[in-house]
Structure formats: C-alpha cells, structure tokens
Chains A and B, each alone.
Chain A
C-alpha cells in the first residue's frame, strides 16, 4: 500500500508517495539522496541514524517515513548556516578530533545538539549519559566528549 507524505526537510517542503513500510532513514537516503544520515546497526542501538524531528533527536531507522508526516525534519545536511559555515558543534568535532572514520559522526553531532538544547552547560557525566544512544567503535569517546563541551560553549554564543 502506498501512502502520500508531506513534510519539511532541512527547511524545504517535500512531498512523495511511498510504500507504507518505507523507513524514514531509507526515504531520506534513497529518495531524497540525503546520505549523511547513516545506517549502522539497523536495530535502533548505534544512533548513526539520528536526525531531528520537530526539534527532537530520533532514530530514523526505527521509524516509518509516514510517522514523520507533517513534521519538520533536520538532518546533518541541514545544520550548517546558509552561508555554508559549519554549525558550532560540527566545528568543535573537527577541531577536537571527535571522529576517526566518521560513520557515527552525523548521529553524534545531531544527538549532541539536542543534548545541548536541553542542557546548555552539560558536564562530563551528562554528556556521556546524553550520548547513551550513540555508539562509536573508533574513538573510545574521549574526544567526542571534549568536542561536545566545546560545541556547547560555542552554541551559547
């Protein structure tokens, strides 16, 4: 069965007709070609698929596209400024080596932004707790935590 969708993705209105079983992550990646959102585990554990729906971090591999009907979706492609300059959290990840292979990184950045939106000055424990839903196999998390500290401070400005 196909369903009609309409939503806003990174500020632009999108309409489509998709099979009802289409996952949001597959809609974003395959149909909208927004491949910055990654599928890591496909079982809602690793968080590489983290995006924002109506301002809140969600794992889009564990959602049907139709669950985002009428929603405001932001992916990693949508957080930079209109002049192309990186979001302060992205800058922080780059400057503090918060990534190696980069596969978990879009999810980490999206999660971190939501964390800081809810807790503007997170401590170490709060950051590690807040990134509970994001797994990284490369870094051991240390530089990710550092990056989030710096990103949080930069977001305050």
Chain B
C-alpha cells in the first residue's frame, strides 16, 4: 500500500519539479532515521526552559527583587555577556530569557547543525546519497528533504518551548514569540549548514565551519549587549533577543530569520547546481607520505586521532572558565542580593573561593566528559573495524586499550588545567592579580585523581561490554547531578557516595588532601586493571 503512495509521489513531483523528485519519500525516510535522536534534543530544551522559568520565578518573586537584579546585572559586564540585553530584565518573563535565551540558541543551533550535516554531507561522504541519487531522485531532493526535516523539527521546537513557557506561568504572546525566535534561529543555522555542506567534502569541515559561525554569532551578541547595540544586530542570536518577548513583544525581527534562511538556501542551491557529486568548493589536501616519529605506537595513533578533540575541549573549557572567572569578583555582591543562591555554594562565608571551587568542580566534570569520550573512542574504533588492523599487528589488547586510557587521562588533565587557567586569568584580570591564573590552574590539578577514576570506570565498561557508551554516560550523568545538585536540592546524604568527586577536597576552599588523592589514584589504577582483565577475556573487533 505504501509502495503505491511512494511511487505516485515520485511521479507527480518528478513531472512538476524534476530536480526535487523523490522529496516526500526522502523526508519520510529521514524522519524514520531521526526519530530516536530529535526527541532528546527537544526534551533537553524543554527541561532547560522549565528549570529556568520555575527557578527564576522563585528567586525573583517580587518587583523589588527584580529591580535589584537589574542594578546588579547592569553593573556586571561578564554576566551581560553571558546572558543578553539588560532591557529584558524589566519583566520576570524577560528575566527568564535573559538567563536562558543564549543557551537555548546554542542548543537549537547544534541540533540543526548535526541534523543537516547527518542528512547531507555525511550521507554523501559515506556513499549513501549515491545510492539514493541513482533512483528517480532529483539533484536538489536530498538537501530539500533535510531542510524539510529541519522545518518540522524547528516547528516542534517552537511549540514545545511555547507550551513549556506558558505552562510554567509566563504570558502567552511572549511565549509564542520566544518559541518562534528560537525556532527561527535554528532554521537560520540549518540553512547555513546546507551551504557549508556544499563547500566542505568532509563532515568535520562542515561542523567546524558552522560551529565557528555560531561562536561568532554568540560573541557579536555579547559585545552588542555589553556595549554598542548595533553590533548585536549583526548576530542572528541578537535578533531573537531583540524581539524582547514579555517586554516589548516585537515581532518584526522574526522576518530577518525568514529572509536570511531563504538567502542561504538559495546560495546552497546555486552551489549544489555547480558542483560535482561528492566534491566541494574546498578539496581534500594531500598529507604526508610518511609517518612522523610520533605515529609509531598505539598511544601515538590515539593521540593523532584524538588530539583535535582534546584541543577543542581545552579551548572550550578555557573560554567557559574565563566566563566563570570574570564573575568571581562580583559574587559577594550577587549573594547579598540573592541569598537563596548560597545553597549552591559549599561555604558562603568565603564566597569567592567557594565559588571558585564550584566552578572547578564543573570544569572537572567537563574534563571527565572529555576523558569519557576519549575512552569510548576505543569502542568506536572496534565497531568500525579499525581496531582489527592494530590488533592483528603484534600489539596486545592491554597495550591497545592503554593507548586510549593514557590519552584520556592526559587529555582530561589538560582540559582541567586549561579551565582553571581561564578561570584564574579572568579573575586575575578583574582584581589585578595575574598570579591567580597560576593559583587556580594548580588548584584544578587537585581534581585530577577524581576525574581519572571516572575515566578508568569508563574503561572498565569498554573492557567488559560491547554496548559501553550508554552505561558510561549514565555514570557520568549521575556524577554530574551529584556535583551540581546534591547540596542545592537537598538530595539524601548517601546519594553522592559513588561519585569520586565527593572524595575530593574542594580546592581552593579547602586544602588539597594528599591522602585522599592517593586513594583515588589507587582506585583509578584498580579500575584500569579490571578493564584490562575484561578486555583480555572478551571477543573483540566487531
């Protein structure tokens, strides 16, 4: 029955728009592929919005508190740079968006970037599109189908965010406008990704280019929000924030998204018409004919494959650390305004160091995430059949897995130091003490043993089981919840007992405890041993 429907679809679109033939079938097919991925993004965005909306309305439950917040925020460039234009702070709904809009914009941007990338260049590079295009499918159809999915996904984003906003008690008009603004930004990123997908042969190139664009958009809006408003108008994130939902409810900036998306899609189609299948505007460059000294061992290979990822984490966490650090000096003022926030801090009496130890814990979590993904790479290599090439050489399984552990441990330590350094550097600049960079980078090292325990625990999962990723991330998620919410939400005392970060001194608030550090290192070593034993016992390589 569906076969009849599909063929009639092809015939009708084929005669009317030959270059788009097969569009409907491809959309249906993509929807099927995306059905387990998109719901997670949507749920994540709804959760972010719901949390922010309820907690903001709890904190700032009176106009006086909101006014106080406005004066604190206006005086703090770092917070404005992370949030949005202070004009939003005039109503409670606007306050919610001040805090969450930029984050939601980044989430929706990543969702759209990966969605389009997966459905266009990744398929083309892997050869799947070739199979599709050999059918009665037009040249434009795969791109159009990807955009069709993006339109659907962003419509659902708009609905989900509007509903979340209304349900948590915000005004309807502003909620609809806010949902559409986020969806509009998502659509613009989707359109930009289709352009990048025509230009780069390699999906990683597409993601790198679009990520850079998102970063530029974020920075331009930060600059505009802190200083000259005109700069923010150069950023599509700025457009959405300048609809001022719940404050002015300005609708016309949404048109900018429509115009921009249409222009980008047009550019993508022009490029697509001119290029050969599989090619891009930028060609692959030739590489070295022989390997450098570094690429001589399993560790060398893992480092080579993972180094870009590790550096990416370092840069990202450094930037985040700087953002945190730039705020550290104002923490006491902020706490005086919002005593409720003290619940998040381990010891409000020494607010600054208490805040630093909280940011270092969060940086430690991100470092652990970098380490976890490095170790899980072993499993990806195994499933892809590449591990077989290494293991068929005289390389033992322990040596093979050690390569991933070493890079994961070194990489996560590097990320920690980068984050601590950024935190300290920004803090040092605000208080005029450059040595803070060294102090906090060194403090960050105190978290290394705990992070290594998480990394080694991931190795155990990889060593023992084949479906490692889900279990490893589940444990990571548990540790993250334990670190961030155990105090604030009054979780039971036993809740964080299995979290290695519980057994880490909260440096710089508390002094580093060498004994605890050694015990954690011993645990990491023991877990690594279990990982090796497991890895030697199971079937490998498929």
The answer to whether A and B interact is no
